[in-house]
Amino acid sequence: MITNIEVNSPAKQAGLKVNDLIIDIDNQPILSFRNAFDIVADIWPETTVPFKIISRWDNCGISRQHQRRTCMVNL
């Protein structure tokens, strides 16, 4: 789950939000926090890859429908 997004970061520019749950990066399922970092580390800089997300909560902690979406992130 995303807990923080830096201003002007690739995540911010791609539209990722705090509390989004990343379930897939570049068509590879996320099995753990470490696994996500390993997948990103293997991707060349300036490469744009799909991140599959489940948006679960708003920034106030209010539950909303679980919306699945894909964000293209330039790493």
Give Rg (Cα) of the chain: 12
Best CA proximity match to 36, nearest among 49, 46, 48, 23: 23
Task: Give the model confidence (pLDDT) of 23-49 as tens digits.
Answer: 999 999 999 989 999 999 999 999 999
Q: Let me know if residue 29 belongs to a domain.
A: yes
pTM: 0.76
The larger pLDDT score, comparing residue 26 to residue 19, is at 26
Best CA proximity match to 11, nearest among 22, 59, 43: 22
Distances 49 to 11, 21, 62 between C-alpha atoms, Å: 11, 16, 29
Q: Let me know if residue 1 belongs to a domain.
A: no
CATH code, domain carrying 44: 2.30.42.10
